[in-house]
Amino acid sequence: MRKYLFRRLAQTIPVLFGISILVFAMLHLAPGDPADMLLGSEATAESVEKLRHDMGLDRPLAVQYVSWAGRMLQGDMGRSTVLNRQVLPEIIKRFKATLILTAGALTFAVVFGVGIGILAATYQHSVFDSVAMLIALAGVSMPIFFTGIAAILIFAMDLRWLPSSGMYPAAGGDIFDLLRHLVLPAVTLGAVSAAILARMTRSAMLEVIRQDYVRTARAKGVGERRVIWVHALRNASITVVTVLGMQFGYLLGGSVITETVFSWPGVGQMMVRAIQARDYPMVQGAVLLVATSFVFVNLAVDMLYAWLDPRIRYS
């Protein structure tokens, strides 16, 4: 297990290297001269050239990349060209809000998606099974922005049960205010993942409950609840955990739309504003942090396999 962990950590190095190249290329693949766009159309040629020199854009690309990567390894993501502040503290502050939203969406997806999938498999071909899978199909089909706007219209504007935007009230608040503001964006973001998990959990459970060891457990008099929730679920969890790991990356990416719709002060909303303002250091730092997080989540998912299924041997 330990050897496998070290080998998987070593395998992440070329992945992170490739991510860093793509993130670095963002600045140079964008149309136009970054220095020219930052200074505006009325800037003189001398001021543009001076900014290019200050940003290091007049050096060869290889030299620029090595210098940029070295600063990234030291935690220096540069300064925001709009805020004129260090990028890393701003991203970390926003990333905490995104993690709260992602955790809420993931919790909703696991509780409802896995729970509905297990019940649908247990009562296969029942009315509940048919209705649950129909709702799951609708959940997969609806885009996030439509679900978010519909949730705001119904629960925030018509019923006035929940707030429609922000993370806290304007005057500040406590954990209960945070939870009230979290409900709508978390459910909106997690709805598609819940639908996918429900369908995958149902399929995995149906495959497992037909196995010989499940029939043997029932023949020995083990209670049906224990058979389903202990014996069958643990062996079906490999598929569920795999999908869950991929959904974490989807939730981080989908937070861009959700945070924009609900004005949630996370990395997604920050990236949209940074792109509009051509704040390339901020965009680069945010994309690099999100992509790196996804890589290490996949590593954690691989480590969970051995705990869920002792038959797995890492060699």
Report field, pTM of the whole predicted structure over 0.85: no
Q: Residue-wise pLDDT tens for the chain (315 aa)?
A: 677 677 777 888 888 888 888 888 876 666 666 666 666 667 777 777 787 777 777 778 788 888 888 888 888 887 887 777 888 888 888 888 888 998 899 999 989 988 898 888 888 888 988 898 888 888 888 888 888 888 899 998 888 888 888 888 776 777 888 899 899 999 998 888 898 888 888 888 888 887 777 778 778 777 777 778 777 777 777 778 878 877 877 787 777 888 888 888 888 888 888 887 778 788 888 888 888 888 888 777 777 766 666 665 555
The answer to whether 230 touches 278, Cβ cutoff 8 Å, is: no
What confidence score (pLDDT) does residue 306 get?
63
Residues 6+ apart with CB under 8 A from 204: 117, 236, 238, 239, 240
Right CATH number for 96-308 from 3.40.50.300, 3.40.50.2000, 1.10.10.10, 1.10.3720.10? 1.10.3720.10
Q: What is the pLDDT of residue 28?
A: 67
Q: Long-range CB contacts (< 8 A, 24+ apart) of 18-23?
A: 19/288, 19/291, 19/292, 19/295, 20/69, 20/72, 20/288, 21/65, 23/284, 23/287, 23/288, 23/291
pLDDT of 61 reads 79
The DSSP line for 107-120 is HHIIIIIIHHHHHH
Eight-state DSSP code of residue 160: -
pLDDT at 108: 92
- Domain borders along the chain are 2-73, 96-308
